[in-house]
Structure 1
Amino acid sequence: MSALIHAWPTTLAAFLASTVEFVEALTVVLAVGVVRGWRGAIAGTSVALACLAAVVIVLGPLLTRLPIGPLQLAVGTLLVLFGMRWLRKAVLRSAGVIPLHDEAAAFAKTSAALRGTAPGGTAWDAVAVGTAFEITMLEGLEVVFIVVAMGAGGPQLLLPAAAGALAALVLVVAVGIAVHGPLSTVPENALKFGVGVLLSGFGTFWIGEGIGLDWPGADLSIVWLCLGFLAVALALVPVCRPAARAADAA
């Protein structure tokens, strides 16, 4: 039972976070493929995914050999900071303080920039390969951090975290192939809200575990922590709306 309670938020958080990051990466990779050709786009993406998988394979087992208490404290702190960053942006976007991320606009901007770059004189388009590799590595490193951090919470958690990230990758690629365009209809801000809540709640739980806190309800405290972060974040949305109206008025 304890393993299951730990596994489901781990898998869910990894899946949601990976979905957001892979959607953003897909937008740029699609632009590279459409403008510069699919050979370079696929090559750059494939190399980046191989590098990211190698990082997980190397770091995951190394972290499981460290003392679990200090490791949970360190990783929990990082997860809370990471989750709060996602929550902050999600709250501000929901309140209208900062604009929602527009995948269609990002696709158009990237496409225009790629068209303005002269093609290379070799068989491989260095711009296409480099652009696809860079965006996949950039977004993928955040996924790797979440997967490895979740896996560091216990020897049984790395596989569920990796499974969630892999499921997100397969889903995003499949949908991208089906629609032949950027996934502009994905509720990205809602996903970031969920990811921020899960990471903050799970990280707080691990901080408590790391300092020897006896959580009421043991592992079920994760649920109540997540609900608490969600309630506070939702309450902050209307609080931040006057700032958005003031900015519009100015």
Structure 2
Amino acid sequence: MTGTGGALFAAVFLACAVEAVEAVTIVLAAGTARRAWRSAGYGVAAGLAVLAVITAALGPAVTAIPIGVLRLVVGGLLLVFGLQWMRKAVLRASGHKDLHDEDAIFARELDAARGAESASRGMVEDWYAFTLSFKGVLLEGLEVVFIVLTFGANAHDVPLAALAAVIAVVLVVAVGIAIKAPLSRVPENTMKFVVAVMLTTFGIFWGAEGADTHWPGNDAALLVIAPVVALYALALVAVLRRHAPKPAAAPALQTVEH
């Protein structure tokens, strides 16, 4: 695997792992709260079936776009997404935004699922568990499909991007099934910071190439762009951390005289 191939694999793997963690958390909440694992499983299967149809329709369309136009459009989109992820990652790392907490998300999903009314439709015994799992898999899965197709098509290596996505998803799902709990031990905030850097890096690289810019060293320029983007993000964290809101002080204990 070349250096560029390694960067592609790492970027797709991390980005898809993040999406898989969020999807697994939703499905686990649906199955745990409703005690309807079969209905949740039907929802997962339905979501995957829809994703398969969408992928089959979008795959040939994406690869048929001229590479220059594809890189310009996808580079711009990746840059927008990367900067959005970067903004959130910098705010979290600097203390201006709460860290992403899968335990808290799992708890919220559990409360919502437990409070929902139970209803059955056809072979689905618990429609709420079905729809919650379906939506989670479909929405997070669409992001995985977008990542694979755009990264793979731009790098002329869709199979490698697909392999990275499959490994990431299978690994996260296996861990989720094994522990049946939110994957709170996964360093998701760190992963999102790294993914933000890589999305921004590829966005800059491919967007410029799509605009007929030639990078010195061609693909080797990625090895320079990525550290520069990372250092810039870390500098922002250091600056913003100085002005981070201080946590509220705990109330002082008062002595009660008897």
Q: Secondary structure at the match of 2:183?
A: coil
Q: What displacement does 1:166 show?
A: 0.8
In 2, are the aligned partners of 1:92 and 1:98 still within 8 Å (CA)?
yes
Partner of 2:240: 240
Partner of 1:229: 229
Structure-to-structure mapping, 1:1-250, within 5 angstroms: 4-36=2-34, 37-122=36-121, 123-124=123-124, 125-154=126-155, 156-245=156-245
Q: Distance in 2 between matches of 1:234 and 1:53?
A: 39
1:127-158 CA-partner distances (Å, limit 9, x unpaired): 1110001111122222222111112314x321
Q: Distance in 1 between matches of 2:48 and 2:92?
A: 30
Q: Distance in 2 between matches of 1:93 and 1:248?
A: 17
Task: Please give the TM-score of this superposition, normalised by the length of structure 2.
Answer: 0.90
Return the index of the structure with the highest Cα Rg: 2
Q: Secondary structure at the match of 1:185?
A: coil
Q: What is the identity, as a one-letter code, of the residue corresponding to 2:10? A: L
Q: What displacement does 1:246 show?
A: 5.9
Q: What displacement does 1:247 show?
A: 8.0
1:25-74 CA-partner distances (Å, limit 9, x unpaired): 11110011112210111111121122223322322222222211111111
In 2, are the aligned partners of 1:77 and 1:207 still within 8 Å (CA)?
yes
Q: Distance in 1 between matches of 2:68 and 2:3?
A: 19
Q: Secondary structure at the match of 2:242?
A: helix
> Which structure shows the higher helix fraction?
1
Q: What displacement does 1:7 show?
A: 2.2
Q: Could you list the runs of 5+ residues in structure 2 that have no partner in the other structure?
A: 250-258
Q: Secondary structure at the match of 1:16?
A: helix
In 2, are the aligned partners of 1:60 and 1:152 still within 8 Å (CA)?
no
Q: Could you list the runs of 5+ residues in structure 1 that have no partner in the other structure?
A: none
Alpha-carbon distance change, 248 to 138 in structure 1, aligned in 2, over 3 angstroms: farther
